[in-house]
Amino acid sequence: MVELLRFREDKPVADPAVTVDSFSDQSNASAVRLEPGDDARDLLPFLDQLRLVEINFPSFGDGRGYSAARILREAGFDGELRAVGDVLVDQLSHMRRCGFDSFAPEKPFNPADAQAALSRWPQVYQATGDGRRPIWALRHDAQSNG
Amino acid sequence: MKILTGNDLKSGAVTWWTGYDWSIHVEDAVDAGDEADAIAAREEGARRVNAPYAIDAERDANGGVRPAHIKDRIRALGPTVRPDLTLKPADPEAGNWVI
Amino acid sequence: MYRYDHYDQAMVDSRVEEFRDQTRRRLEGKLSEDQFKPLRLQNGLYLQLHAYMLRVAIPYGTLSGAQMHALADIAGKYDRGYGHFTTRQNIQYNWIKLEEAPDLLADLARVEMHAIQTSGNCIRNISSDQYAGAIADEIIDPRPYAELLRQWSSFHPEFLALPRKFKIAVIASQTDRAAMKLHDIGIRMVRNDAGEIGAAFYVGGGMGRTPMIAPCIREFVPVDQLITYSEACLRVYNRYGRRDNKYKARIKILVHELGREEYTRQVEEEFAHLLTQGIEPPLAELKRIATFFADPPFETGLADDVDRSDPGFALWLDRNTLPHKQPGYAIAVISLKPVGGIPGDASVEQMHLMADLATRYSFDECRVTHAQNIVLPHVRKADLFAIWQQLEAAGLGAANLDTVEDIIACPGLDYCSLANARSIPVAQKISRRFADTGKTAELGELKLKISGCINACGHHHAGHIGILGVDRKGTENYQLLLGGSEGDDTSLGKITGPGFDEDGIVDAVERATDVYLARRQEGERFLDTYRRVGIDAFKEAIYG
């Protein structure tokens, strides 16, 4: 079973992730944890020093973390974006698309299920900043390259 | 009395706890009493039932089981507007039992 | 109508395999019901009063003949011989087995259909005007925009765990035939002064416990910013919609609590940011989709007059057909409201017939309306009589469109575990009462809507006459509302007073219509008389 699924080559950050509140007091923290009610944009001035942002999903049905992840990636954050908490294998591919590159689920995944979930969708309908070209782009490639 | 109901996991059929298994006939339901929650949890864990819960019911004049709320009676029998699709399509009194 | 390319087909095929795998894991016990429930909901599978109920998506209500045949086949193969057409232009089947659901979805995928996101806290089926592409008063066919939005919303990874469900309607005429302002987002395609097409966005409408009419938050979004603006609206909702209380989690509550101005400000801010992110499909994509909605090859020089000598046909002609934008053609509406019947239900045989009629007489296309009827959008006037004869023979010939017999009713307590009261028997009694007394014709346009509970799936708030089923100390009770309207003049019905039992509500409805008949002036519909004389005259007659 997989307890930490990670799609990065660099070494994981050793420091514990601090809360957003205490982050403002600890100007040298490199890891922070966002709760669903936190505003990801509060972190925008500090993206350079952050190497890890954990986004907590206390309940898999609370989807605020998906928006938080995209907001951070859209702002140029290229550190580790980790989904923690009630993260289920069936949300993996959606979370990847929103910019998460590591996962620390409360209930460890079956690696085969994780692999199946991540390879489920060969194409995607939307542009989400994850680098995958959406179907609407592929459809008009000939024209746009013409 | 407190009877237990749920749905068959695979087929979705409405089922009732008989004391030893799950029947589609509410007449077979037994009073689960204080054990209701424990039975429900055990049976759901074993996947012999899906989403079970307890409801109030009475014994009617014929000794049959009659859920207290009309919703559960409709659930027990089938839609009142399609008697042909209920558990008792040939029984003209079945609709009266619901209402 | 839209046809899948290999990309679209691959998406629905992948979805079927995903659900097949999830179902297997559920049946093996690897997924609990709590974990599986949101997954099956986003594939349209509810655990309902009698069994698993499946809601199949009919995007913007449009179906080909082959698709209607497939829906009939599914009713026969997997269910109990009929389907129920809903107030969101979808179809429901009531006795689906979980272990057969993946195969059913595979059958749907073969005809370019699915049950994706027809339930759950996500963006649902996008509805539209049932006369799109056929009616003269639209500025453009709204459905290419609905299709663009459908693809954008399908499996959108950021918006699959919203605070609550999200319903979008797209129209393109001043006359609102889709209850657009009663949606989470209602979009009306418009032209600006320069003649360019754009979208007016109305956000925060809805019915249910707290009905609200959506305010317009932006009068003109250029057509090449439609997706970006929609995404901004959704992102603000996903971030700030309430998650503490299920009954306050719709976007209408957020818009109401922030106020239109503040919600709009937040959307515009997010929109400005998202414009830098390149998420909008190119106009070429919209043009590609629009080619599927070009006019069919209409014949010209067709006869415009129709032989009215059969009185039954003449009645159906007058009630159930509408003028078409193309001379020699008509829009025909098939009523699924036979007197005393179950509103919106169609048998396997009836669905096969409607599919045949669509293929033979309507360029292979039919529509589902939110009033639970079926439309043949492009029919030669010369073919109307033959169509009507076949409809009559199949019990589909009721000539009652938009009359008091054309009742919208949710499935109610006969089918739905959320309901407090049965709605179908009330609909049956009402339609029989007015048919028997011959008053249907006299009353003219009268939109009567019945909901079995406050969730308002029967749209009772928007009925000229609305009925709401409630639970009064364990027995079914019905409240009467008057003066709702779903059209351009959207208004919400007012409760008249204490509720009634099943027979009482039928009498109360009749008394209300008697007030109209007694007090109406030339040219007034029931709604107009009500608005002119006020509720008190009706209350007096109803409660004595």
Number of domains in chain C: 4
Q: Are C250 and C208 in contact (CB under 8 A)?
A: yes
**Across C102-119, average pLDDT:** 98
Are residue C170 and residue C268 in the same domain, yes or no? yes
Question: Would C122 be classed as within a structural domain?
Answer: no
Asked if C39 and A90 come within 8 Å (Cβ–Cβ), the reply is: yes
Asked if B80 and C51 come within 8 Å (Cβ–Cβ), the reply is: no
In angstroms, rounded to a whole number, what is the distance separating the alpha carbons of residues C422 and B99?
11
Give the nearest partner residue to B12 out of C33, C98, C475, using CB atoms: C98
Counting CB pairs under 8 A, whether chains A and B reach 3 or more, is: no
In angstroms, rounded to a whole number, what is the distance separating the alpha carbons of residues C254 and C235?
12
Q: Are B7 and C47 in contact (CB under 8 A)?
A: yes
Give the nearest partner residue to C99 out of B10, B44, B68, using CB atoms: B10
Interchain contact C14–A (C-beta under 8 A) = yes
- Show which residues on chain B lie within 8 Å of chain C, measured between beta carbons: 7, 9-14, 44, 47, 50-51, 68-71, 74-75, 78-82, 85
Q: Show the domain range for C14.
A: 6-110
CATH of the domain at C356: 3.30.70.3340
| A140: closest CA of chain C, how far (Å) | 7
Mutate to test the interface with C, among A59, A67, A124 (most CBs of C within 10 A): A67
Asked if C154 and A116 come within 8 Å (Cβ–Cβ), the reply is: no
| C125: closest CA of chain A, how far (Å) | 16
**Across C122-128, average pLDDT:** 97
Which structure tokens are listed for C323? Answer: 């003028």
**Across C371-380, average pLDDT:** 98
Q: Are C182 and C487 in contact (CB under 8 A)?
A: no
Give the tens place of pLDDT for each residue, C301-349: 999 999 999 999 999 999 999 999 999 999 999 999 999 999 999 999 9
Q: Which residue of C has its CA nearest to A133?
A: C279
Residues 286-325 of C with CB under 8 A from A: 288
* Beta strand pairing call for A80-85 and A52-57: parallel
Q: What is the pLDDT of residue A145?
A: 45
Which structure tokens are listed for C353? Answer: 């017939």
Q: Are C451 and C423 in contact (CB under 8 A)?
A: yes
| C365: closest CA of chain B, how far (Å) | 30
Are residue C16 and residue C40 in the same domain, yes or no? yes
Question: Would C118 be classed as within a structural domain?
Answer: no
| C161: closest CA of chain A, how far (Å) | 4
Question: Would C121 be classed as within a structural domain?
Answer: no
SS (H, E, C) chain A: CECCEECCCCCCCCCCCEEHHHHCCCCCCCEEEECCCCCHHHHHHHCCCCCEEEEEECCCCCCHHHHHHHHHHHCCCCCEEEEEECCCHHHHHHHHHHCCCEEEECCCECHHHHHHHHCCCCCCCCCCCCCCCCHHHHHCHHHHHC
Give the tens place of pLDDT for each residue, C406-432: 999 999 999 999 999 999 999 999 999
Are residue C388 and residue C413 in the same domain, yes or no? no
Residue C329, SS3? strand
For C382, what's the count of Cα atoms within 13 Å in the CB-facing half-sphere? 8
Angle of CA points B25, B28, B30, to nearest 5° = 130
Are residue C258 and residue C351 in the same domain, yes or no? no
**Across C140-145, average pLDDT:** 98
Question: Would C106 be classed as within a structural domain?
Answer: yes
Dihedral sign from CA coordinates of A72, A74, A76, A82: positive
Question: Would C539 be classed as within a structural domain?
Answer: yes
| B97: closest CA of chain C, how far (Å) | 14
Q: Taking CB atoms and an 8 Å cutoff, what residues of chain B touch C342?
A: 81-82
Phi and psi torsions of A74, nearest 5° = -65, -30
For C98, what's the count of Cα atoms within 13 Å in the CB-facing half-sphere? 28
Are residue C13 and residue C162 in the same domain, yes or no? no
User: Residue B84 is which amino acid?
Assistant: D
Q: Are C179 and C486 in contact (CB under 8 A)?
A: yes
In angstroms, rounded to a whole number, what is the distance separating the alpha carbons of residues C293 and C302?
23
ipTM of the complex: 0.97
Angle of CA points A80, A86, A91, to nearest 5° = 70
Are residue C341 and residue C422 in the same domain, yes or no? no
Q: Which residue of B has its CA nearest to C342?
A: B81
Are residue C372 and residue C224 in the same domain, yes or no? no
Question: Would C123 be classed as within a structural domain?
Answer: no
**Across C66-85, average pLDDT:** 98
**Across C13-36, average pLDDT:** 96
CB neighbourhood size of C355 (10 A): 23
Q: Which residue of A has its CA nearest to C249?
A: A62
Burial of C245 (0-12, 13-18, 19+ CB in 10 A): exposed
Mutate to test the interface with B, among C46, C52, C415 (most CBs of B within 10 A): C52
In angstroms, rounded to a whole number, what is the distance separating the alpha carbons of residues C88 and C118?
10
In angstroms, rounded to a whole number, what is the distance separating the alpha carbons of residues C367 and C346?
14
In angstroms, rounded to a whole number, what is the distance separating the alpha carbons of residues A79 and A64?
20
Are residue C334 and residue C470 in the same domain, yes or no? no
Among C337, C359, C393, give the residue marking a domain's end.
Answer: C393
User: Which chains does A contact via 3+ CB–CB distances below 8 A?
Assistant: C
What kind and span of H or E run contains C451?
strand C448-451
In whole numbers, what is the pLDDT of chain C averaged over residues? 97
In angstroms, rounded to a whole number, what is the distance separating the alpha carbons of residues C131 and B15?
44
Give the tens place of pLDDT for each residue, C220-269: 999 999 999 999 999 999 999 999 999 999 999 999 999 999 999 999 99
Are residue C259 and residue C332 in the same domain, yes or no? no
Asked if A66 and C25 come within 8 Å (Cβ–Cβ), the reply is: no
Distance spanning both ends of chain A, measured CA to CA? 48
Question: Would C128 be classed as within a structural domain?
Answer: no
Q: Are C373 and C401 in contact (CB under 8 A)?
A: yes
- Show which residues on chain A lie within 8 Å of chain C, measured between beta carbons: 36, 60-64, 66-68, 70, 74, 88, 90-91, 93-95, 97-98, 110, 113, 116, 120-129, 134-140, 143-144
Asked if C413 and B85 come within 8 Å (Cβ–Cβ), the reply is: no
pLDDT by residue for chain A (146 residues), tens digit each?
Answer: 778 999 999 998 888 899 998 887 777 889 999 999 999 999 999 999 999 999 999 999 999 999 999 999 999 999 999 999 999 999 999 999 999 999 999 999 888 999 999 999 999 999 999 999 999 999 998 654 43
SS (H, E, C) chain B: CEEEEEECCCCCCEEEECCCCEECCHHHCCCCHHHHHHHHHHHHHCCCCEEEEEEEEEECCCCCEEECCHHHHHHHHCCCCCHHHCCCCCCCCHHHHHC
Residue C498, SS3? coil
Are residue C436 and residue C536 in the same domain, yes or no? yes
In angstroms, rounded to a whole number, what is the distance separating the alpha carbons of residues C101 and C108?
10
Residue ranges of the domains in chain B? 2-85
Interchain contact C39–A (C-beta under 8 A) = yes
User: What DSSP letter does each residue of C332-383 carry, written as one string?
Assistant: EEE-S--TTS-TTEEEHHHHHHHHHHHHHHSTTEEEE-TTS-EEEEEEEGGG
Which residues of chain B fall short of a pLDDT of 50? Answer: none
User: Which chains does C contact via 3+ CB–CB distances below 8 A?
Assistant: A, B
Which structure tokens are listed for C370? Answer: 């939110």
Cα–Cα nearest to C237, from A16, A64, A70: A64
Phi and psi torsions of A131, nearest 5° = 90, -15
Cα–Cα nearest to A73, from A46, A100, A104, A37: A100
Q: Taking CB atoms and an 8 Å cutoff, what residues of chain A touch C25?
A: 113
Are residue C231 and residue C331 in the same domain, yes or no? no
C170 DSSP β-pair partners? C128, C187
User: Residue C472 is which amino acid?
Assistant: R
CATH of the domain at C412: 3.30.413.10
Q: How far, CA to CA in Å, does C422 sit from each of A33, A111, B35, C425, C435? A: 49, 48, 33, 7, 21
Cα–Cα nearest to C91, from C281, C262, C300, C345: C345
Are residue C90 and residue C143 in the same domain, yes or no? no
Counting CB pairs under 8 A, whether chains A and C reach 3 or more, is: yes
